[in-house]
Structures are given as C-alpha cells and as structure tokens.
A and B are shown apart, each in its own frame.
Chain A
Amino acid sequence: MPATDYQGSFLGRISIRRNQVMSMEGNHEQELEDLELFQKHVADRFAELAPPSPSQPSDDIPSDPILSIAWIRKLLDVFLCCDAEFKAILIMGRDPSQISKPPLDRLIPEMLDRDVKALDICNAITNGIEAVRHYQKLAEIAVSALEQRPFGDGQVKRARKALTSLITAMACEDKDGANYTRTWSFGRRGAAAAGNNKSTGQLRSLSWSVSKNWSAAKQIHAMSANLVAPRGAEASGLALPVYIMSTILLFVMWTMVATIPCQERSGLATHFPVPKQLVWAQSIIGLHEKIAEEWKKKEKKGSAGLLEEMQKLDKLGQSLIEFTDSFQFPAEDERAEEVSAHLAELGETCRRMEEGLVPLQVQIREVFHRIVRSRAEFLDVLDLNGKSSALAM
C-alpha cells in the first residue's frame, strides 16, 4: 500500500474528527484508536523499507537496495508521512492545554530541541551531497574516457587520473570528515600552485559545512541522550507518539549521517536506545542493526560513507584503476572488453546519481522546512498555553 493511500484515508478521518464535538470519554477512545493506527502505520511503512529477506524469492519488482539514493528518498517520504500523521494526532482537534500538562510539558520542548539539531544535520547532509556530486563527476570523466573508441593510451590515462582523484577524494573525506574535500588541484604543478597559497590550509579549517567544532556524531548523541520510552500509564498516552516521532527523527538523521559524507562523524554511536519489545519499532530496529553493522565495517575499513552508490564507485573505481595500471599500448581490445561490464555498471551508477542526487537535496530541504514548520506549530500551541495560563493566574 503506497504511502499516499494512508495519508488520504487518514487525513479524511482526522478532518471528520475535527468537526465533531466529543465528550471526554469518546475522545479518549478515539485517541487510543488513533495511537493504535499510528503505531501500525509506522510499523508498516518501515517494513516496506526493509530489504527483502533472502529466503523469499524476489519475483516482484526489484526493490531499491538499502542505503541507495532511491532508498533514502523513500525513507524521507516515510518521515514526512509519519510527521504529518503525528501532528494530526497531537495538534489537530485537540485542546491545546493538554499539551502543556505533564509529561508533555517536558517531552515537547525536548522534542523541539531535537528538531533544531536535526535541522543542522540536514544542512550538513546537503553539503555532503555536494561532495557526492563531485565524486559522481569524477566517475563520469572516467566512464566517458573509457567508453571512447578507439580506445588508447590517452583515454586510459585520462580515466586513471579521474579515478585516482575519486578514490583519494573519498578516502580524504573519510579521514578528515570535516568537509567537502576538493580534488581539483590535479597534478604536481597544480598542487604546487594551490599549496603555495598561504591561506589554503587555513581555509580548509575554516570552511566548515555547519560551524566550527560542530560534530554530526555529537548532535546524534545529544538527540538520543534524553530519549526514553514512556512507561506505565504514560505508555498509552500522548507521550507515546512523541516518543515514536522522536525515534523516527533520530533514526532518519542517524541513517543520513552514516550514509552521506558529513562534518565530523567519528564516534558516531551505533547503539539505538529503543526497547526491543516495542512492536511498532521492529522494522526500525532491524534496519538500524543492519546499518550499524555496515557502519562498524566501514569504520574499520575506511570509506566515505555507506551510500550504496558511493560504495559502488569505490569498488568499481578500484578495479578500473587496476585495469588502467596493467594497460599497455597498443590496446588489446579483448582486455578492454573485460572491463566493459564494470564500466557499464559504473555508468549506470553515475546515471542513478545524476537522476537522484539533486532531487534528494531538494527533498532534504523539504524535510528541513517541514521540521521548521512543525516546530513553529508546536511553539504556537505552547505560546497559546503560556498566555492562557498567565491569564488564569
């Protein structure tokens, strides 16, 4: 069931609810039902993101591989859907004073604080995508050079240089992790020219993507620090959707940080503070475990990010460099044919990046603005409450 279907039926239901004046009791029942549905929708939506299990024959449409650009875009769609439903439950048709009662009076400001941190992560990721686009362009040079016929030494050298730049850039990105590493200064003279410039080093340390000393890993840590599952009576009340939505936000941001180059990721937590018995969280926990495993491997091995397309660039880039190293003029066309499969795959990867990266950037901006808007809506409600309680005094 596509996400839009949920939204349609559910928004319809909400708008009906808005027009009803209900007794407290009816309201409570309705609320329980809404919460039940919300949990179900969250579980369903994330289940769709899970990779198909190997036991199941994948006879239907091949799904987008986990951590690919297309998959992240789906993840962001899921986030937007959940956020819309969350707000409908918490704000629409509700007496604002309920939000200012404990425990929400504490939980909502905490959530708004997480929102702000998520906004900075969105910006860091937007910047990181610029780096990924840069990798894509380098890969494209290699593809177009190696696809050229007749195929000779010149093309091989051209491709080799682009691929070496690509691999170095991705490795640098991983090492300093600070920002978009530039690899435009190819060759010895160019490097010397850039190196002669006094401010270049200084500049590198200044051009943070977010701000000086900002660390994505720390932000993620701060976002999860006070995230505690509601217990007892709270577990069936409005504290639950706040917890669910905060968990989703944390998961989405954490995934993006792990996937896309981002300022300061070292020490990124792999622990996910969600109790395993929560039914709605099963798919999220499953996805988290899988990604965390990949991340741990990455930390050992070293690569710029878990983005599927980037991993492809890395792998194919390495193998094509090997090919260019062993290439000798005159070309043996048979040898060239050997790599044509790799080349085709690299070309296909570049094509997917070309199609997906800018829309992904735009979508992250959409998420950014959605968070800003949601935050403002909650602040309005809190403000309203502040005023009314001040009047009551």
Chain B
Amino acid sequence: MAGYQSVNPNHEGDQHLIAAAHHILKLLGAIRNLSDDTRKLLADLDIHLSIMTGNTINNGGEAIEVEKRLKCAERMVLRWQANQSMIWDTGPGEVSEFLGAIDEVQTLIDSFSGVSVNENGRVRELLYRANNIVQVAMLRLQEELIHILVHHKLYFEPEYVSFHSCRADVIYDESFVSLEDESVEASQRVSNTGSVSGEYIVDLIHPQVVPDLKAIANAMIAANYDQEFCAAFIGARQDALNEYFFVILELEKFSIDDVLKMKWSTLSSEIKKWNWAMKIIIRVYLASEKQLCNKILGGFDTVCSLCFVEIAKATFLCLLNFGEAVAMGSTQPEKLFCLLDMYEVLDDLLLEIDSLLFEEAGSYIRIEFHELLRKLGHSARQAFQELQKAIAADSSMKPLPRGGIHPLTRYVMNYIKTLTIYDDTLNLLFEDQNTEDTHSIVESETEQDISPITFCPLACHLRSITSALECSLVVKSRLYREDSLRHIFLMNNIHYVVQKIKGSDLRIFFGDEWIRKHIGKFQQHATSYQRATWCSVLSFLRDDGHCSNSVLKTSYKERCREFTNAFEDVYKIQIQWCITDPQLKEDLRISTSLKVIHAYRTFIGRNRISDKHIKYTVDDLEKLLLDFFEGTWRTLRNSRRR
C-alpha cells in the first residue's frame, strides 16, 4: 500500500487542481446532448477524483452515487443466482446486462485503487461488497463458459477431410520366411500437392459462440480470474480432444510393452492408424485448436499459448510414444515400409509441429518429434541392412526342386521394387552414409546419357542388394548335383531379376550397363547348360572319319542307340525341370533344338542308318524336346503315344 501515498494529494496545489477538474466535470455533465457512454465516463472520472481527495466520499454525494451504482450491479448479478437457466441461453440483452454489471463493478474497484482502505472505512466496506459481487459473477461466468464449451463443441468426421497423401498405402505384409507369388503391387505415387498450414482449419466450436467465449475470457482475465478461466477452458477442451481421439477416431493408447510384444500384423495396422491419426490430429484438429485459442484469447499471448500447450500436451506425448516404441522395436526387413511411411508422415508434419509448439512451453515436445524423426530414419536404415543380412543368412540344405525361381529372389525383387516409391526419403537417409559401392557394376561410364539416378545412394544400395542376392543364389546353386540344373537355376533366377528390373522403375536405378551385363550373365548360364547337358550326348553323333567302313557301320548303329539312351536319360530328368518364363523357355528350346536336331539329322543322313535302327525320327525328337522344362513327370512311353 505504499503506492497510494504518492497519489493522495498532500499539497495544496494538487487539491486545487482536483477541485478545478471537478468543476470542469460538473460543467461538462450539464451539457444535455451527451451520449450515455460519455456520461458514464464523466461519472467514473468524478468518482475517481472524489476518492483521490480522500475525504469527500465520506460525506459527499459521490459516495451515495457509488453505492447506488454498486447496488444496481449487485442486483443484476445476484438476480441470476437463483435462476437455473443459463444467461447465454436466455438472450443477448441479458448477456450484455450481466457483462455490463461486471464491467461497472470492475471500474469501481479500479477507481478505489490508491485509497488507503485502512484509513477509510466507507471505502473498505464498498470494496468488500464489490469483490464479493465479482466473485459471484466470476463463478457464474465459469459455469457459463463450461456450458458453452460443452454444448457447442463440434467434431469433424475424418472422412470429410481429404489428404493429399503421398501415396496409397503400400501393403507389404509378406514376411521374409513364407513367400510364394507376387503379392506385392507397388502403388503409384500420387503427387503431393504440398500442404500449407491453415488449409485444413475446421470449426471445433460453433463459430456463433466464439465471440461469447471471447467476452467471457476478457471479463475473467480483467478481473484477475485468469487461472479459473484457464482451468475450465483447458479441462473442457482436453475432454473434447480425448473424446475425439478415443470415441470419434476410435484410437487406442498402447503401452510401450504392448507395442513391443505386438504381432506384426497388428502392429502394421496400428502403424497405419498412427500415420492417419498424426495427419488428422496434428494437421487438422490441433491446428484448429490453436486457431480457436487464438480467436478466444487473442491479445493475451501468454495465456493463449499456455492453454494450447496444456490442451494438446497429452495427445502429443501419446503420439510421440507410439513412434518411440516402434523405433525401439526389432527391425526385420518387412518393417522397413512401415518405418518409411512413418518417417515420411512425420517429416511432412514437422513444420506444422514446429509452428504449433513454437512457444517455450511446448519446446521440449517439439524437440522430441525431431529426435523421433532421426530415430525412425535410423531404424529404417537398420531394417534395410537387415535385408542384406537376411539374404546372406538365408540358407537351406536342400536345393530348390526343378531349378525354378527361388522364393528369396521373388521376395527381394518385389521388395526392392516397392522401395523405389520411397526413393527421395531413402536417398536422404543414405546420403550421410559412406556408400561402399564395391558391388555396383556401372563400369563404362563413358556414355554421357546415363541418368544421374543410376549413381544416387539408393541405386548403389539396390545394386548391393542384388549383388548379395546373386552371391546367395550361387551358394544355393551348389546344392544341385547336376551341373546342368545348376545353370538352369541360375539362368532362371538372374533372368527373373533382370526382367523385374527392366519392367519397372528399377531400370533407371540399375542403368542399362548393369542390365546388359546381367543379360549376358544368364545367357552365359544358358550356354553353359547346353554344354553341360548336350556335349556328352552329342558326342555319340560326332563324326570321327578315320575308321574302316565295316567297323563304322556297326558302330554307327551302336552310337545311334547310345545316343538314344542318353537322350532318354536327359529327357526323363529335364522334363521335370522348370523354366517359368515362356520366352526364356522357348529361346532355350530353340537353340537346343537347333543344336541337337541339326547334329542328329546330319548324323542319320550322312550315315544312312536304316529306320529299323532308329527309335526316334527327327520329328519325334523335335516333339520330345518340346516337353523339356515343363516341370512335369511324364514318362517317355506316354509321350510316344501322343
């Protein structure tokens, strides 16, 4: 109460000044055509001057005036105490009356500031009464506030909000172990049209009542009831957010323990929900919540940012913790796509999170989201490396029957085909890493038209993946006893790899040179197959030309018989083998046919072997060759009956 002394005029001069001001006020008050507002202003000023002089209020008419006004306001406020209905539901007239009364009392209280209550019993009594009225009024305002917040809250249904999501969900539920066919269809990237904050603002409270809420906020904060306002406002809005989270979006909270123990299928669907919820809650709901806070509490910046952070904090932490739990979990290769999805969603939202939690109050949460992004990136890289490790570790003791396409080859190729959708993110993640591009086979870089994509970090990693695959395939091929089948197996698998690359976006990553080289590789295996299978068989038909005629005759017949036996042996085995690609099968058959039929026809023609010594005609042989690589169990006799 030290301040009032300086206000209380001690000097005679000041007393004169105040008296003069009083006089002026009286003259002004006599003017007839004053507006109500002006008249009230003059009255306020008059009372204030009276109080400043300290003694006049005790006996002067002003005291009666103050009391009259206070009584009037008191009546207005107390009138509602017994009334069950809400003021704001009753009508705008009642509202402005009530707010007017509060304003009036507040003005009176303010005008008492600077008066020593201890010395002035009358003032003290008036002040008690005024404070009491304020208390009753504030209690009422708080109730009205909650009533409005609860009854006028709005929710938006998530399906009404469309997102320019980066892509349709990539489904990759295949696990590394069991895989049969190509279940993975890489979905197309929908162009991201960029999201500007504010694009998705919705009304969380009926816009009609926002001015009412603002009026209540103003009145409560002016009366220093800001703490009560915040408690009620934060509480009601937190409940609304919880309701939205749990009831409308039907989301669930999980403990970290839960997440770490979750089955992969459950986890992947929860991750999809998280991705969706992050976008809806952060981009739409919380951005709108912030806007709402700004509308209601604009001008009270500290209160405003405090309220927003308090309302949103628990939800932010809940979303954050799920992300943490996922980033903590194991990094099996099939998790990579989920991790990349989460990474991209968070990366996309980070600017929005920054602007929502711009103030000091929420800064630690903001920093944690940045940290989470880093962790998700780290986990994604790990999952990628796990793939490489898994390829190397994939070992079985039995060769794949019939030499077809190994499930691992299918898995890896489908996997990396899907990866190209995430090229930007992956390049970003791999950028800082030292890419040991020892496996990359882009040797002749003399060509100027090679796409720069062929040299991006992702491309290097992809080539190292296929090179690990090739190594693994070579190891697997050693399990075959027959050399020929070994080559068929490698030919099939490398051909599959090349086809997958040629027929997709992978093409640019691997580059033409790589593709050429690998076409050469499987062709080499085809050649090796022919050499391994047919060299010995055709050796019976080889023309030595140095033997005597009679010996030759018998030995021609004998050699023909031996050739037939050898052919039948090969036939029995190789019709069971498998070349799944029809074109590749056709090509190999033609070139085999050319070689075998040509040698056979020449042999028979040149040596004039009679039909009774020939089990198969040239045509028979040609037909039989069509049965090769069909993966069937047909016996020779059956085939002859055709």
Residues of A within 8 A of B (CB): 116-117, 119-120, 123, 126-127, 130, 134, 137-138, 140-141, 144, 148-150, 152-155, 157-158, 161-162, 180, 182-190, 193-194, 196-197, 199-200, 202-203, 206-212, 214, 329-331, 362, 365, 369, 372, 375-376, 387, 390
Contacts and interface: CB of A to CB of B under 8 A. Distances in A.
Given A117-B257, A189-B86, A182 B238 contact: yes
Given A187-B142, A190-B143, A372 B317 contact: no
A376 B328 CA distance: 8
B146 interface: yes
Contacts of B364: 362, 365
B131 A154 contact: yes
Nearest to B83: A189
Give 10 closest A-B pairs by Cβ, nearest first: A184-B235, A154-B131, A152-B128, A154-B135, A154-B132, A206-B246, A189-B143, A190-B146, A193-B147, A190-B143
B313 interface: yes
Interface string B131-168: 11111101100111011001100000000000000000
Contacts of B239: 182, 194, 200, 203
Contacts of B127: 150, 152
Nearest to A197: B150
B128 A186 contact: no
Contacts of A194: 146, 150, 236, 239
B143 A186 contact: yes
26 contacts: A116-B256, A116-B260, A144-B224, A150-B131, A152-B127, A152-B132, A153-B135, A154-B128, A154-B134, A157-B139, A162-B228, A180-B314, A184-B236, A186-B232, A189-B147, A190-B232, A193-B150, A194-B239, A197-B150, A200-B239, A203-B247, A210-B255, A362-B364, A365-B364, A375-B328, A390-B393
Contacts of B144: 189
Contacts of B313: 130
Contacts of A154: 128, 130-136
Interface of B: 1, 84, 86, 117, 124-125, 127-128, 130-136, 138-139, 142-144, 146-147, 150-151, 224, 227-228, 230-232, 234-236, 238-239, 242-243, 246-247, 252-258, 260, 313-314, 317, 321, 324, 328, 364, 368, 371, 389, 393
B314 A130 contact: yes
A154 B368 CA distance: 44
A123 B133 contact: no
A376 B379 CA distance: 11
B292 to A, nearest CB: 17
B243 A158 contact: no
Nearest to B393: A390
Nearest to A263: B255
B328 A203 contact: no
B128 A185 contact: no
Interface of B, secondary structure class, is helix
A144 B147 contact: no
B143 A150 contact: no
A187 to B, nearest CB: 5
A222 B143 CA distance: 45
B151 A193 contact: yes
Contacts of B125: 330
B143 A140 contact: no
A89 to B, nearest CB: 24
A186 B139 contact: yes
A161 B364 CA distance: 33
Contacts of A369: 371
B117 A150 contact: yes
Contacts of A210: 253, 255
Given A190-B142, A203-B247, A365-B368, 19 more contacts: A116-B256, A116-B257, A120-B257, A137-B231, A141-B228, A144-B224, A149-B117, A150-B117, A150-B124, A152-B131, A152-B132, A153-B131, A155-B131, A180-B314, A193-B143, A194-B236, A207-B242, A207-B246, A214-B255
B130 to A, nearest CB: 8
B270 to A, nearest CB: 12
Contact of B132 (A157, A196, A206): A157
B253 A208 contact: yes
A120 B393 CA distance: 35
B254 A211 contact: yes
Contacts of A209: 253, 314
A330 B128 contact: yes
B256 A123 contact: yes
Contacts of B117: 149-150
A187 B321 CA distance: 36
A119 B132 CA distance: 49
A387 B371 CA distance: 29
B328 A141 contact: no
Given A154-B131, A157-B132, A186-B139, A120 B314 contact: no
Nearest to A188: B143
Contacts of A212: 252-253
